[in-house]
Amino acid sequence: MKCERIEQLLSPYLEDELNPEEKGAVASHLKTCKKCSLLFSLIKETQESLADIPELEVSKNLLDRLYSIPREKKRFKLRLPNFDFLVRPSLQPALTVATIMLIMISFYFYGPNKSSIDKSISRQIHLGYSKIERLYAKAESFSASLGEHKDNILVSLKNIKLLGGNED
């Protein structure tokens, strides 16, 4: 085997993970190749050095910071107002109407026929206005005609026996 191939097998050889054939090949190569043998001993030293790195204790300052994490989260929690009243049955008709209104308003603002809706609304308003005007005019003419016939009406009323009027 070439040194490059042996290099790849040194770690598994160290951890006894090679099959007997590969293990034998590496062992015999290490006996004859100084370079690979040195590298193998250096890998062993590296592994021992790494394994010998101790665990550090966590400082009190860091522990305090870690313990305060849930509290910090609570502190920044949004406090939303209580909207429970919205689910009361008595409010449901009002909410339904409001929803329908909102849907209609959204149709008006975001629908494709906004200008035609505007026109029809304006026409309806004018029609309504003219109807009121006509009604007002009729009422005026009615009161004027009432004035003309006022005397006749009064005489007629006086002549009604039921109301205690005279015959003449």
Partner 1 sequence: MLVNTYSKRIFNIAYQFAGSYQEAEDLTQDIFLKLNNSLSKYDFKRNFSAWLFTLARNYLIDQYRRTKWEKQTRDDFNDHYLPSEAFENPEEGVVKEENKRTVWQGINNLTSEIRMAIILRDIQGKQYEEIAEIMSLPLGTVKSRINRGRLQLAKILKEKKERRNEM
Output the smallest distance, CB 24 to partner 1, in A. 20
Which of residues 1, 18, 25, 39 is near partner 1 by CB under 8 A?
A: 39
Q: Which amino acid is at 129?
A: Y
3-class DSSP assignment, residue 111? coil
| Closer residue to partner 1 in complex, CB, 10/30 | 10
Distance CA 121, CA 108 (A): 11
> Residue length, the chain?
168
Site for partner 1 in 86-115 (CB under 8 A): none
What character string, x for contact with partner 1 (CB under 8 A) and - otherwise, covers 68-87? -xx--x--------------
Stretch that binds partner 1, among 50-58, 107-115, 116-124, 158-166 (CB under 8 A): 50-58
> Does residue number 51 form part of the binding site for partner 1 (CB under 8 A)?
yes
Contact partners, residue 9, CB within 8 Å, separation at least 6: 1, 18, 22, 26
Cβ atoms of 157 and 165 within 8 Å: the answer is yes
Cβ atoms of 36 and 3 within 8 Å: the answer is yes
Which of residues 5, 24, 27, 46 is near partner 1 by CB under 8 A?
A: 46
Distance CA 27, CA 7 (A): 12
Interface contacts to partner 1, rule CB under 8 A: 7-8, 10-12, 38-39, 42-43, 45-59, 61-63, 65-67, 69-70, 73
